[in-house]
Structure 1
Amino acid sequence: MRWLAIALMLWAAPLWAVEPNEMLDDPALEERAREISQLVRCPVCQNESIDESHATVARDLRVIIRERLVAGDTDQQVLDYLSARFGEFVLLTPPRDGANLILWLAAPAMFLVALGIGWAAIQRKPKAADEGLSQDEQAELDKILNS
């Protein structure tokens, strides 16, 4: 069981991108820095937060976040600073206002449109008649079966 725990810890070690020399002495500030770092996209990796990334740019951003927190900025002020300096792309979850509102609403709107189109297509589909065969069709079928 110990070997499994050690193997899992070694396997997960690369996930800890924050280097010891980056960490703050104050545990509360360090926790805030880690939370903010999980909200910021790595410009190199693009699908990882800077908290997970080993890229040099991610390290620089983590240092900037810690410097801003030590200077007394709130979490939102740090995020606003990063957005102003690097653009909204740096945020893993962009704000839901302005032009971004279109992106947030486009997928649900297209889903509702697709549901509407599907419902309309089902409603237009002709229903199968339950009357059976006409007399001409029955006569033709009998002729085919008897030959």
Structure 2
Amino acid sequence: MQNPLTRDALKVFSPELSNDTADAMLATAWARAQQAAPCLREDAPDLDSADVEIIKDVLRSAILRWDERGSGAVAQRTAGEYGETFRASDSSTLFRPNEIRDLQSVCGNVRKRGRASTISTIPPGYHQTPTVHPFLTGGEGDDEFEGF
């Protein structure tokens, strides 16, 4: 699958974004999205229009956030014994946890996981109905129980 988000779609929200920067951010965000949701690596995943819009929204949000935070510079200021530090961004992650879940839920629509099942180990045709409860002893039917 190709990246559904285009440079022009980003420039609607951030007109000052240069073409080279937008292309680099799109390539990086798409690679990270494919890492978070492996089904996006497939040539033609079975996605409906709502799934494609979710992917575009996640990519757009992450890229615009990345553009707004800039270089991730840290600013500090102190007044006497008090000080504070401002971090412009957390550059360690591109997607937020809810965005990763959204991408993975799109993949959940593509690949359904198997469901729990039971495998019977009783041979076919074998059926023996007990005549007494197996935990009751000393009563009627103990003779029949021994062969159970």
* The structure with more strand, counted as a fraction of residues: 2
Comparing both structures, which one devotes a greater share of its residues to helix? 1
TM-score of the superposed pair, with normalisation by structure 1: 0.35
